[in-house]
Chains A and B, each alone.
Chain A
Amino acid sequence: MRWLRKNLIPIIGILVLVYLFVPIAVVAILSFNKPDGKFNVAWNQFSLEAWQNLCGVPGVCQSFVMSIQIGVIATIGGTILGTMIAFALVRYRFRGRSTTNLLIFLPMATPEVVLGSSLLALFLNLAFPLGFWTVTIAHIMFIISFVVVTVKARLQGMDPRLEEAARDLYADPKSTFRYVTFPLVLPGILGAALLGFSLSFDDYIISAFNAGTLVTFPIYIWGAAQRGIPVQVNALATLVFVLSLLVVLGAQFVNSRRRRKLESSAA
Chain B
Amino acid sequence: MAASGEVQDLRLVNLVKSFGDFTAVDDLTLTIPGGSFFALLGPSGCGKTTTLRMVAGLEAPTSGNILLGDTDITNEKPYKRYVNTVFQSYALFPHLDIFENVAFGLRRRGIKDVSGPVNEMLDLVQLGPMARRKPAQLSGGQQQRVAVARALINEPGVLLLDEPLGALDLKLRRQMQIELKRIQTEVGTTFVHVTHDQEEAMTMADTVAVMNKGRIEQMGAPVDIYDLPKTAFVANFLGQSNSVAGTVQGRSGDDLIVGAPGGSYNVPAARSTRQEGAILLGVRPEKLSIATAGSSAAVPDRHNRATGKVTDASFTGVSTQYLVMTTWGDEWTVFEQNRSVDLLQPGDEVVIHWAPEYTFGLDVPSGE
Contact = CB atoms under 8 A, between A and B. Distances in A.
Given A262-B133, A262-B134, A168 B56 contact: yes
A241 to B, nearest CB: 31
A6 B27 CA distance: 68
B58 A164 contact: yes
Interface residues of B, number: 30
B87 A169 contact: no
Nearest to B110: A170
B93 A165 contact: yes
A169 B137 contact: no
B130 A167 contact: no
Contact of B137 (A159, A171, A266): A266
B79 A172 contact: yes
Contacts of B78: 164, 167-168
Contacts of A183: 95
B93 A162 contact: yes
Contacts of B108: 169-172, 175, 179
Interface in B23-64: 56-58
A257 interface: no
B367 interface: no
Interface string A195-215: 000000000000000000000
Contacts of B56: 168
Given A175-B108, A262-B137, A266-B137, A167 B95 contact: no
A10 B174 CA distance: 48
A166 interface: yes
B58 A168 contact: yes
B105 interface: yes
B137 A161 contact: no
Contacts of A141: none
Contact of B79 (A170, A179, A262): A170
A166 B85 CA distance: 10
Nearest to A176: B79
B129 A266 contact: yes
Interface in A150-168: 159, 161-162, 164-168
B207 interface: no
A265 interface: yes
Contact of A168 (B79, B89, B137): B79
Contacts of A119: none
Given A170-B108, A262-B134, A265-B132, A165 B91 contact: yes
A179 B105 CA distance: 11
Nearest to B137: A262
B229 to A, nearest CB: 34
A56 B17 CA distance: 75
Given A169-B108, A266-B129, A162 B91 contact: yes
B132 A166 contact: no
Closest 10 CB pairs of A and B: A161-B91, A169-B105, A170-B108, A165-B91, A167-B78, A171-B108, A168-B85, A170-B79, A183-B95, A169-B104
Interface of A: 159, 161-162, 164-172, 175-176, 179-180, 183-184, 262, 265-266
Given A169-B150, A171-B108, A266-B129, 18 more contacts: A159-B89, A161-B91, A164-B87, A165-B85, A165-B92, A167-B57, A168-B57, A168-B79, A168-B83, A168-B84, A168-B151, A170-B79, A170-B105, A170-B108, A175-B108, A176-B79, A266-B133, A266-B137
16 contacts: A159-B89, A159-B91, A164-B87, A164-B91, A166-B104, A167-B58, A167-B77, A167-B78, A168-B56, A168-B78, A168-B79, A168-B84, A179-B104, A180-B93, A184-B94, A266-B130
